[in-house]
Each structure stands twice: as structure tokens, then as C-alpha cells.
């Protein structure tokens, strides 16, 4: 583990709703997986389990229909997801350009997602990023406690070797914004899932419509931290 360097700055990205929109893709492949067990869920069934990781995402819906969850349900959904990601996953405009600019600025970069590593890597490949672009990737399997608990973000900061106070988080979900606040980190809410007012009320320091707008805030935030 790296030692904390108080002169370094970290930018931590949630995946879904920030870099890509893969929610509908995951619903599609999860439905196909669960149909093998004799049920016919609909996409709306997954809404309450969004952002909680795929064990809860698929398992919660399975239990709605009276099925006991088993890991094979997720494994098959992921198999389909990997096969069809290029077709189903939507990459937000200019994400690759913004990520390259953040890296050129000298900030340490992390992805912190509740999803499993196979899904995160598949999504990064859809963006066009090579392995090793991010300084670290933290997934749901790396944290006992899920968002809004701060564990996943604190793990990311520790791996980056950056003081949590010098980290800024990009999130689209209320649970993620609250996790960042509990970790002592600044956050930018992306309004792909929740309205601006909701994200600000949850503790976001800023709320913007997309990652392009977020880049200007990251630059200004870093300059303000250097001055302090």
C-alpha cells in the first residue's frame, strides 16, 4: 500500500451513470439469466436494487419471484453482458477525452464501483481504455460495507496514497454522494439518475449534467486545494 502524500490529489470515479450507462444493459442480461430459472421479470423490478452490486441487483429480483439466489444467476448474466457490451453499453460523450485530461493534470485516478471487476473491465474496454490507465480499481468485492458506507472510497484513497481530504468523487447516486461525504471527500453529482437538488441535498459540493462540465470543477477544486 502506498504511503499518503499530502501533495497529491485523487479523482475517484463511480462507473455507472458517470462514465457509462450500463444499467439497461445489465437489466437486459439479468432478465435473460433469470428466465432460465422459469421466471419472467421486467426491467422495473430492478429499480430498487440499482447501485447495490449485482448480487443484490439480481438476487433481489430473484427473491421477488420466490427464487433463492445463487451465484450462477449472476455468472450467466455477466457472460451475456461481456458478449454483448459493445452493443448494449452506452458510453457518455467525450468521456475518453476528459479522462485523458485528468490524467495529464497529474491527479491520481481511481474507479470505485459496486460492480464486479469483470463488469468494470468490460465497461472500460467499451470506453477504449487500456489496462492500467487508472492507478487503481476498487470494486464491490473489495468492500465489506456498501455505499453509503465510505469504505469503498477510503480504500481507493489508500491505494492511491492520497489523503481523503485531497480526493474528489464523481457520483450519480445519492448513496455514493453520502459515502463520499462520510469519507471526508468533496463530490460532484452527475445528474444522470437524480435531480440536481437531490444530489446537493445529499451532500454533493457541486451538481452538473455530465463529465465534461465536471472537468472544469475538478481543475478549480485542485487549484483551491493547492492554495490551502
* Domain residue spans of the chain: 10-21+90-227, 23-88
* Residue in the block written with cell 458478449: 83
The cell for 51 is 447501485
Classify residue 19 as exposed, middle or buried by CB count within 10 Å of its CB (0-12, 13-18, 19+). Answer: buried
Indicate the fold that domain 10-21+90-227 takes in CATH.
Rossmann fold (3.40.50)
What pLDDT shows up at residue 2?
A: 62
What is Dmax (Cα atoms) for the chain? 60
CA dist., res. 56 & res. 46, Å (int): 9
| pTM (whole model) above 0.85 | yes
What pLDDT shows up at residue 3?
A: 67
Phi, psi of 131 (to 5 degrees): -60, 140
Give the confidence band of 81 by pLDDT, cuts at 50, 70, 90.
Answer: very high
CA dist., res. 37 & res. 40, Å (int): 9
Query: Which residue, among 5, 6, 13, 42, has the nearest Cα to 152 in the 3D structure?
Result: 13
* Neighbour-count burial for 146-180, b at 16+ CB within 10 Å, e otherwise: bbbbbbbbbbbbebbbbbbebbbbbbbbbbbbbbb
Please determine, for residue 54, whether its predicted confidence score (pLDDT) is greater than 90.
Answer: no
Give the confidence band of 74 by pLDDT, cuts at 50, 70, 90.
Answer: very high
Give the confidence band of 1 by pLDDT, cuts at 50, 70, 90.
Answer: low
Q: Mind telling me the catalytic residues? A: 14, 16
Give the confidence band of 52 by pLDDT, cuts at 50, 70, 90.
Answer: confident
Percent above pLDDT 90 for the chain: 85
* Neighbour-count burial for 74-97, b at 16+ CB within 10 Å, e otherwise: bebbbebbeeebeebbebbeebee
Least confident of 18-32, 60-74, 89-103, 140-154: 140-154
For 142-201, the pLDDT digits (tens) are 989 988 999 999 999 999 999 999 999 999 999 999 999 999 999 999 999 899 999 999
Question: Which residues does 225 contact at the CB level (< 8 Å), separation at least 6?
Answer: 9, 166
User: 7, 214 in Cβ contact below 8 A?
Assistant: no
Give the confidence band of 141 by pLDDT, cuts at 50, 70, 90.
Answer: confident
Least confident of 2-16, 51-65, 115-129: 2-16
User: 105, 222 in Cβ contact below 8 A?
Assistant: yes
Amino acid at each position: 500500500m502506498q504511503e499518503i502524500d499530502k501533495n497529491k490529489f485523487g479523482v475517484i470515479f463511480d462507473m455507472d451513470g458517470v462514465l457509462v450507462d450500463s444499467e439497461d444493459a445489465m437489466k437486459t442480461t439479468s432478465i435473460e439469466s433469470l428466465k432460465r430459472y422459469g421466471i419472467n421479470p421486467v426491467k422495473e423490478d430492478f429499480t430498487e436494487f440499482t447501485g447495490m452490486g449485482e448480487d443484490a441487483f439480481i438476487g433481489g429480483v430473484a427473491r421477488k419471484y420466490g427464487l433463492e439466489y445463487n451465484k450462477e444467476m449472476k455468472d450467466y448474466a455477466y457472460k451475456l453482458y461481456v458478449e454483448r457490451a459493445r452493443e448494449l453499453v452506452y458510453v457518455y460523450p467525450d468521456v475518453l477525452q476528459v479522462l485523458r485530461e485528468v490524467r495529464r493534470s497529474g491527479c491520481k485516478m481511481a474507479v470505485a464501483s459496486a460492480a464486479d471487476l469483470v463488469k468494470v473491465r468490460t465497461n472500460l474496454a467499451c470506453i477504449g481504455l487500456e489496462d492500467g490507465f487508472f492507478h487503481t480499481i476498487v470494486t464491490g468485492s473489495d468492500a465489506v460495507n456498501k455505499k453509503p458506507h465510505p469504505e469503498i472510497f477510503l480504500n481507493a484513497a489508500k491505494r492511491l496514497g492520497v489523503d481523503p481530504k485531497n480526493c474528489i468523487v464523481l457520483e450519480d447516486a445519492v448513496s455514493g454522494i453520502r459515502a463520499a461525504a462520510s469519507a471526508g471527500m468533496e463530490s460532484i453529482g452527475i445528474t444522470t439518475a437524480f435531480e440536481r437538488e437531490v444530489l446537493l441535498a445529499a451532500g454533493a459540493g457541486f451538481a452538473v449534467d455530465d463529465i465534461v462540465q465536471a472537468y472544469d470543477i475538478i481543475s478549480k477544486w485542485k487549484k483551491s486545494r493547492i492554495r490551502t
